Amino acid sequence: MNQTIETILNHRSIRSFKNEPLTDEQIHTIVQSAQAASTSSYIQAYTIIGVKDPAKKKKLAELAGGQSYVEENGHFFVFCADLYRHENIGKWEDADVISSLESTEKFMVAMIDASLAAQNASIAAESMGMGICYIGGIRNDLEAVSEVLQLPHRVIPLFGLAVGHPAADSSVKPRLPLNAVYHEDAYMSDEAGMKAELDRYDETISSYYHERTGGKRSDRWTEQMAKMLSGKKRMYMKEFVEKRGFDKR
């Protein structure tokens, strides 16, 4: 196993960082790594906002549901789907690009582009000995986040990425059995087989929590998922996304 794969397999989310800001050189390397990711038809449909202003970080931490590590970290990035640049290009080149920009296809392209870039950024940071945590919590209130970051039309914040030197370790969380996630030649949709696989996984997860919490927690994965999905979270998203000029047609 090479070092890169070791870094990848060693991933765990870090939620406590030392008070040690990243240098501009480190930020530069991380962003350059993000940009090196593949991009659909060369579109590069994302923008990354690095947040340094303490007041803005505090505000974002509140909006994300009071997660202290959004405020306290080495650096905080916000990855945004961005087609504002391309709207301008349409004007400058006198081309009718609006139908494209507002299509579900381009919404997907922008999200995929931004996510590939973010994962490169994460691996780059982790390879330098830093820890990372994705912050989906900023999606609690994208209207407010957009205001903090002064985002124009056709730009949507997708998630935050807290990066820094770990102040506390955490453990690698067991993933779904490989066979549940990887199928060959066709999707294995046999319900009984899936149930058996997830039952075994539930046991793994249950003991994982049991061990880590000294018996306080022992929830199964399927139980967690059912609970999480029963809560109708961020149901404003469709309206927001369309209002911002994405996913309209």
Residues 63-92 that bind a second copy (CB under 8 A): 80, 84-86, 88-90, 92
Q: Which of residues 26-55 bind a second copy (CB under 8 A)?
A: 27-29, 31-38, 40-44, 46-53
* Interface with a second copy: number of residues (CB under 8 A): 119
Q: Judged by CB under 8 A, which stretch of 15-23, 59-67, 174-182, 206-214 contacts a second copy?
A: 174-182
Query: Does 104 participate in binding a second copy (rule CB under 8 A)?
Result: yes
99, 143, 193, 212: which one contacts a second copy (CB under 8 A)?
Answer: 99
Q: Quick one: which of 162, 204, 201 has its CA closest to 14?
A: 162
Residue 161 CB, nearest distance to a second copy (Å)?
Answer: 9
17, 159, 160, 162: which one contacts a second copy (CB under 8 A)?
Answer: 159
C-alpha–C-alpha distance, residues 217 and 194, integer Å? 25
Q: How far is CA 49 from CA 92, 104, 149, in A?
A: 25, 24, 8
Select 49 or 63, whichever has its Cβ closest to a second copy: 49
- What six digits make up the tokens of 39? 């991009």
Query: Does 13 participate in binding a second copy (rule CB under 8 A)?
Result: yes
- What six digits make up the tokens of 73? 């970290």
Query: Does 193 participate in binding a second copy (rule CB under 8 A)?
Result: no
Q: Which of residues 124-143 bind a second copy (CB under 8 A)?
A: 124, 127-128, 132-134, 136, 139
Task: Give the CA-trace dihedral at 203, 207, 213, 214, to 10 degrees.
Answer: 130
Provide the 10 A C-beta neighbour count for residue 177. Answer: 13
Provide the 10 A C-beta neighbour count for residue 89. Answer: 12
Q: Quick one: which of 117, 127, 160, 148 has its CA closest to 6?
A: 127
**Interaction mask 207-246, a second copy, x per CB under 8 A:** --------------xxxxxxxxxxxxxxx-xx--x-----
Query: Does 3 participate in binding a second copy (rule CB under 8 A)?
Result: yes
Select 50 or 167, whichever has its Cβ closest to a second copy: 50
- Element spanning 42, H or E: none
- Burial class of 98 by CB neighbour count within 10 A (0 to 12, 13 to 18, 19+): middle
Question: What residue has token string 């990372």?
Answer: 132
Select 206 or 222, whichever has its Cβ closest to a second copy: 222
Q: Judged by CB under 8 A, which stretch of 65-73, 162-170, 171-179, 208-216 contacts a second copy?
A: 171-179
